[in-house]
Structure 1
Amino acid sequence: MAKIPDQMLAAQVVEFKKPYKIHKVPTPGKDLNEYDMLVKVAVASLCHTDGMVTEGIMGTPLPCIASHEGSGTVVKVGSAIKEFEVGDRVLCSLTYHRCGVCADCTGPEVGRQYCPNVGGYLGVNRDGSFAEYEVVDGRECCLLPDNVSFETAAPLACAGITVWGGLVRAGLKAGESVAIVGGGGGLGHLGVQFAKALGLNVIAIDAREEALSLSRECGADTLVDARSGKEKVVEEVKKVTGGQGADATLNVSDHESAAATGAAVTKMHGVLVQIAQPTNISVPFQELVFRDIRIHGSLTSSRGECLKMLDVVSRHNIKVKTNAFNGIQEVPKAIELAHSGKMQGKPVIIINQEAIENERKSGIKMV
């Protein structure tokens, strides 16, 4: 491995409601914690939560390097980490230093990221992936399968594991149906592919031509245009579910009417998994009381679930629709595209072009 430089380029939040400051900062990792690793970032992705950070909603201490969706190569390993070594390709978990002893850490695998004593989250209250190097918790990261590229992996660190966790909480079996409100967005198009890989019948609901087109490309069984109005949407979903509604619904849209639509298209006694994070979630009482629709909030998921997700990505050739930008200097362009309303998939920043070239030269067919 090349010598680690004393300084690196990074995109920092230095003032709320202002653009990132892109400049040189000291490279971290000189005094590495025994459980940590230093990763040379190959690709970092932009997430909806990054906007919440820049607005000051997450209570982020400043300055803070942005992005919690990263993938890269291990260049330094803490003394207590035995699973990884220098040169390994990894998915960088956003979770940092769970306590390991609380009820969440010792409870069901899918919920361990809820640790109330966590040491922080990368890109939220600790430095993240919009940098040439970042410090990660080696106990939380995942080794990338040989055929999963850095560009595919980065968005999986949050968008991927978030919608995967929602599917796990929906508790569906192969052959059952799932509706995804926002099925053509950054999370939604991954949810469509994951659900198909798990043998589910997928109903994608969205309100943009670009999103509906992406849902179709990703294999959704049924497309429903939300612009037709709630009654028509419910009618279309019932038409393909024997008049019952979807067995479960994931809502990954923060539109003010999305949760209500999600509840309405779900069968009686079914589950609406709320993943999107609008300020308020509004669902008519009739859905909850008269139809027994249960709402289950879902954040991300655990390392164990992340490993399962990566296995599915590898075996089923899951494709992340990415919009690539070259270099940290182009982060503002990625943000502009994300806010344009015309984007399909996820904006990603190629930070280490050499790592990408080495993947291409490997001879392995990448997803």
Structure 2
Amino acid sequence: MGSVDIPSKQSAAVREGTGESAKAPVKQIDVRMPGAGEILIKVNWTGLCASDKSLIHDEWKDFGVAMQDATKGIAGHEGAGVVVAVGEGAESRWKVRSTGTDEVHCTAQKNSGFSAEGTFQEYLVADARYSSKIPDGVKDEEAGPIMCGGVTAYVACKRSSVKPGQWIVLPGAGGGLGHFAVQYARAMGMRVIAIDGGDAKRDLCKKLGAEVFIDYTATSDIAAEVMKVTGAGAHGVLVTAATKQAYDMAPGLLRPNGTVVVVGLPKDPSVVAGAPPIMMALRRLNFVGSVVGSLKDVEEALDFTARGLVHPILSKGKLTELDDFMEKMSKGQLPGRAVLQVAA
């Protein structure tokens, strides 16, 4: 095992305040060394996910979801970097060199940035069993977003049950999750109908592999347009847009036996995914939820990038710009996925 000089102090973005006015300025905090079964990761890049903003700004408090004390005010869950220390019992899997974090429905799970310290810091202690090795050919700034947004889109495509050659509709296709979904769906052989607004989103979605683009700002009847393209409706709709309009529209885009995959998480608790019972019954529609993925899913999602099939569109900044990036995210001013450089 190699040796690395590890400082006693590090920079971390630590939440101050609550609600919409909360900030996360960078401060100096102690570096914690790994215990048994843990590794210490020097975080080179971290993604900024919409869920990070939601937790820092208490947007999900009506659902009883909030940052827990164990986070010490440090959010973030899309970190990638190098392993610089290995705790007792983790030596067989890890050497001092590689990186990232997450399993899905363990009742005792700890989630980075929600119930454990997050990736908005230079040195992160992580459970060695649930950290993912980044394959050669994948950059750290790509890997972070792929291990959250990427695997979320990839698993959602799988849960749609759409087969190669069949149609999938992606509302919000030009967004952080949506632009991943376009690429994974295309790489999996699906025929992609992208829905978003404006020429810039049209160009992006077509460049990423969408066969058809529907501009919701210029189309009066989106369902009719989908029926015109597909003949009988799409086989699946993957809703990444966290809006009432997207969820209300989704079932009307499906053919019989079609599936809506619920991915986008609106902060309004009154938004419901579903359809009138008679519509669901007569057309035998399916509604399934999807959230991130297993270690195996993460490995598969990263492999698409290692093979050159999926690449995130990145808006890059530094950890010190976290508050500015959250404000831009709220205003829809960040193309693709946001990533922040942590370690110099």
Fold match by TM threshold 0.5: yes
CA offsets, 1:306-335, max 9 Å, x none?
Answer: 111111121134221111113x21112222
Partner residue of 2:225? 236
The answer on 1:165 being equivalent to 2:155 is yes
Distance 1:313 1:266 in 2: 30
Partner residue of 2:136? 146
TM-fit CA distance, 1:226: 1.9
Distance 1:335 1:206 in 2: 21
Partner residue of 2:341? 350
> Contact 1:210 / 1:344 at 8 angstroms: preserved in 2?
no
Match of 2:26 among 9, 22, 26: 22
Identity of aligned residues (%): 27
Distance 2:226 2:302 in 1: 30
Partner residue of 1:179? 169
Distance 1:84 1:333 in 2: 36
CA offsets, 1:219-268, max 9 Å, x none?
Answer: 11110112245x62112222222x11111110000111101222111211
* Equivalent position SS for 2:146: helix
The answer on 1:291 being equivalent to 2:291 is no
Q: CA RMSD in A?
A: 1.7
CA gap of 1:287–1:68, structure 2 versus 1, over 3 A, is farther
Partner residue of 2:216? 226
Distance 1:33 1:212 in 2: 49
Match of 2:118 among 116, 125, 128: 128
TM-fit CA distance, 1:208: 4.4
CA gap of 1:269–1:208, structure 2 versus 1, over 3 A, is same
CA gap of 1:293–1:45, structure 2 versus 1, over 3 A, is same
Partner residue of 1:102? none
Letter in 1 for 2:179: H
Distance 2:236 2:302 in 1: 23
Q: Which runs of structure 2 are paired with 1:1-367 in the superposition (5 Å)? A: 1-17=3-19, 18-29=22-33, 32-56=34-58, 57=61, 58-62=65-69, 63-81=72-90, 82-88=92-98, 90=99, 92-93=100-101, 95=102, 112-118=103-109, 120-228=110-218, 232-241=221-230, 243-278=231-266, 279=269, 280-285=271-276, 286-326=278-318, 328-353=319-344
Distance 2:164 2:275 in 1: 30
Distance 1:210 1:261 in 2: 23
* Equivalent position SS for 2:217: helix
TM-fit CA distance, 1:209: 4.0
TM-fit CA distance, 1:289: 3.3
Distance 2:313 2:87 in 1: 34
Letter in 1 for 2:81: G
Kindly tell me the number of residue pairs found equivalent between the two proteins: 328
Q: List alignment gaps of at least 5 residues for structure 2.
A: none
CA offsets, 1:126-179, max 9 Å, x none?
Answer: 111111011112111221111100111111121111111111211222212211
Letter in 2 for 1:182: G
Letter in 1 for 2:96: V
> Contact 1:211 / 1:344 at 8 angstroms: preserved in 2?
no
What's the TM-score, normalizing by structure 1?
Answer: 0.85
* Equivalent position SS for 1:175: coil
CA offsets, 1:61-84, max 9 Å, x none?
Answer: 243211111101000112222222
Letter in 2 for 1:130: F
> Contact 1:264 / 1:287 at 8 angstroms: preserved in 2?
no
* Equivalent position SS for 2:283: coil
Distance 2:165 2:180 in 1: 19
* Equivalent position SS for 2:244: coil
Letter in 1 for 2:332: G
Q: After superposing the two structures, state which structure 1 stretch, 133-142 or 146-155, moved more.
A: 133-142
* Equivalent position SS for 1:227: coil
> Contact 1:246 / 1:265 at 8 angstroms: preserved in 2?
yes
> Contact 1:181 / 1:258 at 8 angstroms: preserved in 2?
yes
Distance 1:150 1:83 in 2: 20
